[in-house]
Amino acid sequence: MNVLYGLHQPDEGEIHLRGEPVQIGSPREAIGMRVGMVHQHFMLIGVMTVAENVVLASEPRRGPLLDVGEAERRVRELSERFGLVVDPRARVEDIGVGQQQRVEILRVLHRGADLLILDEPTAVLTAQEIADLFKVLRSLTAEGVSVIFITHKLREVLEIADRVTVLRRGKKVATVETAGATEASLAKLMVGRDVLFRIEKDAAQAGEPLLEVSELEVEDDRGLPAVRGLSLQVRGGEIVGVAGVDGNGQSELVEAITGLRVPRAGRITVAGKDITGGGVRDALAAGIGHIAEDRHRRGLVLDFTLAENLALREYRRAPLSRFGLLSPKRMMRQARPLLEQYDVRGGRPGTAAGSLSGGNQQKVVIARELAEEPQVTIAAQPTRGLDVGAIEFVHKRLLEQRDAGRGVLLVSLELEEIRSLADRVLVIYEGRIVAEVSPDVTDEEIGVAMLGGTVRT
Amino acid sequence: MTSPTPEGQGALTVGSRLSGYLRGGGVLVPVITALMAFVVGGFVVLATGANPISTYKAVFEGSGLNWLFPWVTGDDRLIAGLNLQQTLILTAPLILTGLAVAFAFRAGLFNIGGQGQYLVGSFAAVYVGSSLDGLPALLHVVLAIVAGCVVGGLWAGIAGLLKATTGANEVISTIMLNWTAIYLGSYLFQIRGPLQSSDPAQQSIPVSNDILESARLPVFWGDPELQGLHIGIFVALVVTALFWVLLNRSVTGYEVRAVGFNPDAAEYGGINAGRSYVKVMVICGVLAGLAGAIDVLGWQFRVATNDITVSNIGFYGIAVALLGRNTAVGTVVAALLFGALLNGTSVRNLDPSIFDPLLATNLTYIIQGLIVLFVSAPVLVTMLSRGRLRRVLRPMPSPEVKSGG
């Protein structure tokens, strides 16, 4: 995809655009050829308004000045034409992820693209936002825009695409019409073997409460209440799922439990030990493992080696360090079996974490967090952006934790993931748990609760 | 949950951008950088009507580095030895101020305050070294050095504390602290200032008391009366080794590097980034303060207000660290290069018939500036190395082009 957008150059082969062979030397040239791309990681400037971001690099001018009115008018016009509702005057950092993505799409359209490349567009979206995005994509194709939609999620492919090309290790495996395809048939093409979708698991043997959160109140970065009097309990031997629409206090809840954020009120105990406000080290010492929601931001130091990353939780203690001095040898010795056990491919202990693929990076995070056999694992979006093989791996590891009698709190925006893994599902809405349901209820029932409605249970 | 990317959005700080550049590549890039600076400097020499090759040869001989060649004998060798002593006297503080900048870079901070930390270190050392008469020599030297380190560390710690508590940008606060240090020195040692010399013969000169014999660093090569080489260079080399251990083999170094690369992940590992910033700045200040201490205890023996305003050792530390890629060994090599350059271009050492000595000091500035420029303009270097310049210069299709008009 980066080749199509001119970011990388092909070593061999040709690209044909509208029947003509072309060479795309840079993103600017790609834009000139009406090819637009929306990256998985957005390329927006947070402090600028929506309109300013959209017209960036092709600004309407009035003399030497930016014509703000004209910019806003253009954004409104595009919004209406394609059904992409967004306030042109809002600052990008103040709007949600789904809205930000619309800004990205608007920007590409503003530059006149009629071939739109979307890289993992749904990875950060909620179910509702995904449904909205699909509506937008349908109106785009109706207007004659072609869309290349890159995703790991089979269900989305089947829902939105007309044709699907399956890639495996950089090679095209097949191109099929979605009309005749099923999730199973696509997964088989992707992995090269049959994939278990419905995770096979025994009934939970829930034991003593390990994690208890009571009347927790946490503020977000702006000092506004994000978690408002939330209580929950995770017992040994069960996976508790927290389902909810993005931005209902999930991040703040996870950060409070793992010691990254000091709660305003309430109590957090692990196996009876109070860790409220004790910071990361207390949480760690009490037996909290944390698979962070953003492995690039929190989970890994990409410039560190794998051995150094695996030591991130333990470097302060013997045997990795003594009297304030580290032992690189022991760090290496600790890393080797972990990398093997967790099937991390493409790296030795001395390799920089940044050079691994996303799936293998996540395996490193999981290896570090689970190796210590934490009492409770807090897994926040543990499979975001991973391919089906890696997702299967992560799910299996979490189930192993459960079956070993430890607790798992799974916070995810993927309803499917929660339903297939969790033994109990808590629905979070505006910082409170509003419902507890069995994972066997329908999507609709959970969905209603996620939007603040009441559920019949 | 949170916005999806740390990389895509948000401005990088100058510090993190520079340290990012410095992480990549090997030995080759700094060597090319230095060579490019010398070549461009050569054109400047040419423009003044002098011969760049004979100028550089004279600078080289003025630095005394030809002492290393066994075929230099007799009087030439004697002179080369004297020159080399001066070069190494300058190299020692350059190593230390270089490390003071390098350590900060590794933690994602840009310490421009090496100059101020160096100055307050020298003030403290001159105060302790010129008072406390009657102490045993070793104890007196150690006390004076410790005073320089402590005061330098506290000085830089102010910037670290401001960053940790209020988020104040360390670039701004360290620059401010440089000026504060300069004016503090001008006040302390001015005529009738609190620390001005008590010697009746010096009453009309803005200068400190002289360092007592017992606090002077021993000279091990050359004549103490002729400003021979004091043991400061060994102090600097030992500290360099400690720097390496601290950065690469200690828990503190691990935390510093983690914060430097990714403060969020460091926090997740239980590292308090704010505390780390304070710690890092204090260590930087200790290094630069030590440089100030060994300069006054080794060869200056006093602080004069005139010298305070023209001193540049702390600023050269920035170029030294950048050229040395923030590594221990690189910093030593870069410090030797700058020490040789400073000494080789000094008025005393350059033959006026080859190159005007008054211009020569500026040649050092030019080369220093070019090095900082080349190091700070990685985009240019990357483009050149990938042959992308041609493509960039070619006209682009306009992004406004749309079909149908």
Ramachandran angles phi, psi of B84, nearest 5°:
-65, -35
CB B119 within 8 A of CB B311: yes
Say how many C-beta atoms besides its own lie within 10 A of residue B43's C-beta: 9
- Tens digits of residue pLDDT in A111-153: 888 888 888 787 667 777 888 888 888 888 888 889 998 887 7
Total number of domains in chain A: 2
In 3D, which of A120, A159, A127 has the Cα closest to residue A416? Answer: A127
Mean pLDDT of chain A: 85
The Cα-based distances of B24 to A301, A303, B384, B403 in angstroms read: 16, 10, 16, 43
Q: To 5 degrees, how large is the angle CA A330–CA A336–CA A337?
A: 110
The Cα-based distances of B287 to A49, B111, B122, B283 in angstroms read: 45, 12, 12, 6
Please identify which residue in the block is written with the tokens 């000169």: B205
Q: Which two tokens stand for residue A362?
A: 């996540």
Nearest chain B residue to A38 by CA: give it: B8
Q: Which of B9, B249, B262 is facing A325, going by the closest CB pair?
A: B249
Tell me whether A319 touches chain B (CB under 8 Å).
no
B360 part of a folded domain: yes
Residue in A104, A122, A301 to test binding to B, most B beta-carbons within 10 Å: A301
Segments forming the whole domain that contains residue B302? 14-384
B151 part of a folded domain: yes
Cβ-defined contact of A280 to B6 (cutoff 8 Å): no
A362 and A268 both lie in a single domain: yes
Cα B330 to chain centroid, rounded: 12
The three-class DSSP label of residue A51 is helix
Cβ-defined contact of B262 to A44 (cutoff 8 Å): no
| Chain A residues closer than 8 Å to B401 by CB | 32, 112
| Omega before residue A319 within 30° of 0, cis | yes
Residues in chain B whose Cβ is within 8 Å of chain A = 1-10, 23, 245, 249-254, 257-258, 261-262, 264-270, 391, 396-403
A341 part of a folded domain: yes
Total number of domains in chain B: 1
Residues 6+ apart with CB under 8 A from B142: none
Is residue A378 pLDDT above 60, yes or no? Answer: yes
B177 part of a folded domain: yes
- Tens digits of residue pLDDT in A384-443: 878 788 888 889 999 999 999 999 999 988 888 888 899 999 999 889 999 898 888 877
Q: Which of B253, B258, B391 is facing A25, going by the closest CB pair?
A: B391
Q: Which two tokens stand for residue B139?
A: 């104890």
Nearest chain B residue to A313 by CA: give it: B269
Evaluated on CA atoms A33, A34, A39, A44, the torsion sign reads: positive
A134 and A249 both lie in a single domain: no
Please state, in angstroms and rounded to a whole number, the distance separating the CA atoms of residues B100 and B280.
9
Cβ-defined contact of A41 to B4 (cutoff 8 Å): yes
| Chain A residues closer than 8 Å to B252 by CB | 324
Q: Which of A28, A39, A312 is facing B399, going by the closest CB pair?
A: A28
What per-residue confidence (pLDDT) applies to B287? 97
A40 part of a folded domain: yes
Strands A61-62 and A325-326: unpaired
A161 part of a folded domain: no
A308 and A422 both lie in a single domain: yes
A293 and A431 both lie in a single domain: yes
Residues 6+ apart with CB under 8 A from A179: none
H or E element in which residue A419 lies: helix A415-421
First to last CA, chain A: 46
Strands A65-66 and A61-62: antiparallel
Please state, in angstroms and rounded to a whole number, the distance separating the CA atoms of residues A288 and A377.
6
What pTM, to 2 d.p., does this model score?
0.74
A158 part of a folded domain: no
Cα B319 to chain centroid, rounded: 7
Tell me whether A308 touches chain B (CB under 8 Å).
yes
Strands A209-219 and A171-177: unpaired
Residues 6+ apart with CB under 8 A from B287: B96, B97, B99, B100, B103, B117, B152, B239, B243
Residues in chain B: 405
B180 part of a folded domain: yes
- Rounded to a whole number of angstroms, the distance from the CA of B402 to the nearest CA of chain A is 6
Cβ-defined contact of B4 to A294 (cutoff 8 Å): yes
A244 and A140 both lie in a single domain: no
In 3D, which of A395, A373, A372, A370 has the Cα closest to residue A382? Answer: A395
Cβ-defined contact of A260 to B267 (cutoff 8 Å): yes
Please state, in angstroms and rounded to a whole number, the distance separating the CA atoms of residues B385 and B270.
40
CB A455 within 8 A of CB A243: no
Please state, in angstroms and rounded to a whole number, the distance separating the CA atoms of residues B269 and A101.
31
Residues 6+ apart with CB under 8 A from B382: B388
Cβ-defined contact of B1 to A290 (cutoff 8 Å): no
B120 part of a folded domain: yes
A244 and A389 both lie in a single domain: yes
What per-residue confidence (pLDDT) applies to B18? 52
Cβ-defined contact of A280 to B403 (cutoff 8 Å): no
Ramachandran angles phi, psi of B398, nearest 5°:
-70, 135
What per-residue confidence (pLDDT) applies to B256? 92
| Chain A residues closer than 8 Å to B245 by CB | 325
Say how many C-beta atoms besides its own lie within 10 A of residue A419's C-beta: 21
H or E element in which residue B303 lies: none
CB A30 within 8 A of CB A15: no
- Rounded to a whole number of angstroms, the distance from the CA of A173 to the nearest CA of chain B is 30
Please state, in angstroms and rounded to a whole number, the distance separating the CA atoms of residues A149 and B197.
78
Evaluated on CA atoms A183, A185, A186, A188, the torsion sign reads: positive
| pLDDT in 10s for each residue of chain B, 405 residues | 333 333 333 344 555 555 444 555 567 777 888 888 888 888 988 888 888 888 888 889 888 888 988 888 888 898 899 999 999 999 999 999 999 999 999 998 999 999 999 999 999 999 999 998 888 989 999 999 999 999 999 999 999 999 999 989 999 999 999 999 999 999 999 988 898 888 888 888 899 999 999 999 999 888 888 888 999 999 999 999 999 999 999 999 999 999 988 888 998 888 988 999 999 999 999 999 999 999 999 999 999 988 898 888 999 999 899 888 889 999 999 999 999 988 888 767 677 777 777 777 788 888 888 887 877 665 455 545 544 444 444 333 333 333 332
Cβ-defined contact of A111 to B403 (cutoff 8 Å): no
| Chain B residues closer than 8 Å to A31 by CB | 399
- Rounded to a whole number of angstroms, the distance from the CA of B195 to the nearest CA of chain A is 40
- Rounded to a whole number of angstroms, the distance from the CA of A108 to the nearest CA of chain B is 11
| Chain B residues closer than 8 Å to A261 by CB | none
Cβ-defined contact of B250 to A97 (cutoff 8 Å): no
| Average pLDDT of the segment spanning A311-337 | 88
Please state, in angstroms and rounded to a whole number, the distance separating the CA atoms of residues B370 and B290.
28
Range 134-173 of A in CB contact (< 8 A) with B: none
B401 part of a folded domain: no
Ramachandran category for residue A352: left, alpha or beta (phi over 0 → left; psi -120 to 50 → alpha)? beta
Residues 6+ apart with CB under 8 A from A253: A213, A216, A218, A227, A230, A242, A411, A428
Please state, in angstroms and rounded to a whole number, the distance separating the CA atoms of residues B67 and A38.
62
- Tens digits of residue pLDDT in A253-281: 999 999 999 999 999 999 989 999 888 99
What per-residue confidence (pLDDT) applies to B399? 36
Please identify which residue in the block is written with the tokens 């090759």: B53
- Rounded to a whole number of angstroms, the distance from the CA of A351 to the nearest CA of chain B is 14
The Cα-based distances of B217 to A362, B211, B239 in angstroms read: 55, 10, 16
Please state, in angstroms and rounded to a whole number, the distance separating the CA atoms of residues A9 and A21.
15
Tell me whether A297 touches chain B (CB under 8 Å).
yes
CB B152 within 8 A of CB B296: no
B211 part of a folded domain: yes
| Chain A residues closer than 8 Å to B258 by CB | 301, 304, 312
| B382 or A85, which is more confident | A85
Last residue of a domain, one of A120, A151, A182: A151
Please identify which residue in the block is written with the tokens 């619309």: A102
CB A154 within 8 A of CB A182: no
Say how many CB pairs under 8 Å bridge A and B: 136
Please state, in angstroms and rounded to a whole number, the distance separating the CA atoms of residues B364 and B374.
15
Is residue A377 pLDDT above 50, yes or no? Answer: yes
The crossing angle, in degrees rounded to 10, of helices B273-295 and B137-166 is: 150
What per-residue confidence (pLDDT) applies to A201? 74
pLDDT exceeding 70 applies to what percent of chain A?
Answer: 95
Segments forming the whole domain that contains residue A39? 15-151
A272 and A134 both lie in a single domain: no
| Chain B residues closer than 8 Å to A326 by CB | 249-251, 253-254
A339 and A437 both lie in a single domain: yes
Query: What CATH number is given to the structural domain containing A43?
Result: 3.40.50.300
Please identify which residue in the block is written with the tokens 């559920």: A455
Tell me whether A251 touches chain B (CB under 8 Å).
yes
Cβ-defined contact of B269 to A58 (cutoff 8 Å): no
B231 part of a folded domain: yes
- Rounded to a whole number of angstroms, the distance from the CA of B198 to the nearest CA of chain A is 46
Cβ-defined contact of B265 to A328 (cutoff 8 Å): no
What per-residue confidence (pLDDT) applies to B25? 53
Cβ-defined contact of A57 to B399 (cutoff 8 Å): yes
| Chain A residues closer than 8 Å to B261 by CB | 301-304
Strands A35-38 and A115-119: parallel
- Rounded to a whole number of angstroms, the distance from the CA of B391 to the nearest CA of chain A is 8
Please state, in angstroms and rounded to a whole number, the distance separating the CA atoms of residues A316 and A305.
17
| Average pLDDT of the segment spanning A291-310 | 88
Q: Which of A33, A57, A284 is facing B270, going by the closest CB pair?
A: A284
Residue type, A126: T
Q: Which two tokens stand for residue B350?
A: 């350059």
Please identify which residue in the block is written with the tokens 């102490």: B135
Query: What CATH number is given to the structural domain containing B238?
Result: 1.10.3470
Residue in B1, B106, B279 to test binding to A, most A beta-carbons within 10 Å: B1
- Tens digits of residue pLDDT in A151-181: 877 778 888 888 988 887 677 888 888 888 8
Q: Which two tokens stand for residue A37?
A: 């791309």
Alpha-carbon Rg for chain B in angstroms: 23
Is residue A456 pLDDT above 50, yes or no? Answer: no
Q: Which of A281, A296, A313 is facing B6, going by the closest CB pair?
A: A296
Q: Which of B9, B268, B402 is facing A298, going by the closest CB pair?
A: B268
What per-residue confidence (pLDDT) applies to B405? 29
Range 14-53 of A in CB contact (< 8 A) with B: 25-26, 28-29, 31-34, 39-46
The three-class DSSP label of residue A110 is helix
Q: Can you tell me the ipTM of this complex?
A: 0.75
What per-residue confidence (pLDDT) applies to B397? 36
The three-class DSSP label of residue A23 is coil
A244 and A369 both lie in a single domain: yes
Cβ-defined contact of B1 to A381 (cutoff 8 Å): yes
Nearest chain B residue to A380 by CA: give it: B1
